Amino acid sequence: MSHPSSDGAPADGAADGNTGYGSKPFKRSRSHFADRITADGRDGWPVEAGRYRLVASRACPWASRAVISRRLLGLEDALSLAVTDPIQDHRSWRFTLDPDGRDPVLGIRFLREAYDARETDYPGGVSVPAVVDVPSGQLVTNDFQQITLDLATEWTALHRPGAPELYPEPLREEIDVVMAGVYRDVNNGVYRAGFATGQGEYEAAFRDLFRRLELLSGRLADQRYLVGDTITEADIRLFTTLVRFDAVYHGHFKCNGFKLTEDRVLWAYARDLFQTPGFGDTVDFHHIKQHYYRVHAGINPTGIVPVGPDLSGWLLPHHREELGGRPFGHGTPPGPVPAAEEVPPSGRPEHLLTGS
């Protein structure tokens, strides 16, 4: 069974093999629209300030990668941002947060309209992140794995002064290896557990997830970041799962081996990133909880959104600076969040106490 709108990135419920319980494991499908926006325009889409619009949901971890990268690199003026409603229906992601329910730049009500402009009657799911060509209204790419790498390496002419190197060439081989394990067992692992339809399938995903988290905790015990001594793409990809872990994955997806707050190293690491400009200031916990608990009707048929957990701990001191490291390398932090892109108070951790 397909889950085209379950979390943003395209997914399939079918795969080769079975668990011995009469079910087939969850498998995330490849992005159908994989054109790249490059400095030389070799796919027909050259990097150009103001030409493209990034469509994202703050609920979706895959889209959040692109939102964080865009902010860290200072691409706000070059690549505009559309934020969708966290609740979508059968017509796809909606722009109901905007006046008259239309994206003010693209003029559309549903992201599917940009997909249809590119390929009529496209049969697959409508996913975020999506980059849309503003002049034509056509989808350019929904390749969530490649979008952020290209923002880091192909959009360099438009980076802000002091932008960090998120995918530095000397470290790419190591970054790729780390990211592969994080993707397989953590980013996608929580979904393999959450959408499992058989006990064996679920338990296999559960074991892979917590084995990888323990390995990552060991790796981060004496180094501030995953690769090298600065923030890289690898940290962005792990963060977007960790920041959702206790709020949704621990309970909603049955990933309850331990809470993030119960692992001293991972909890401090995640808080360190959350409190770094460009990370926590893009996170909307209200959107996250509304989406997961209300959209995944097969998992949570009542649609009840839990009050907890208490999320105010994200603002506690982390002391990770004692390990050294330079968050932005030789660069500088990004400036203030543009006023139009600020997360509302309802989504910030200081407003999300248990019982409030």
Catalytic-role residue among 60, 202, 269, 293: 60
Q: Residue 73 and residue 3: Cα distance in Å, rounded?
A: 32
Q: Which residues, in sequence order, are CB contacts of 55 under 8 Å at separation 6+? A: 63, 82, 84, 93, 103, 111, 114, 128, 129, 130, 131, 132
Residue 293 annotated in active site: no
Question: Is residue 93 part of an annotated ligand binding site?
Answer: yes
Using CA atoms, how far residue 21 sits from 2, 24, 25, 203, 313, in Å, is 20, 9, 10, 11, 40
Q: What are phi and psi of 203, to 5 degrees?
A: -65, -35
- Catalytic one of 191, 225, 249, 292: 191
Angle of CA points 193, 130, 100, to nearest 5°: 110
Q: Which residues contact 48 (CB under 8 A, 6 or more apart)?
A: none
Number of helices (H), then strands (E), in the chain: 10, 4
Structure tokens at 300: 């949570």
Residue 88 structure tokens: 């979508």
User: What is the rounded CA–CA span in Å between residue 57 and residue 97?
Assistant: 11
Instruction: Return the residue matching tokens 């559960």.
Output: 206
Closest residue by Cα to residue 289 from 54, 55, 57 = 57
Give the start-end residues of each E strand in the chain: 52-56, 80-83, 130-133, 138-141
Beta strand pairing call for 80-83 and 130-133: unpaired
Give the C-alpha distances (Å, rounded to integers) separating 134 from 40, 49, 275. 19, 11, 33
- Would you call 60 a catalytic residue per the annotation? yes
State the alpha helices, DSSP H only, in the chain.
61-73, 112-118, 144-153, 172-182, 189-194, 199-220, 233-244, 250-252, 264-274, 285-295
The residues that are catalytic are 60, 191
Which residues does the annotation place in the binding site? 93
Which residues contribute to the annotated binding site for glutathione? 93
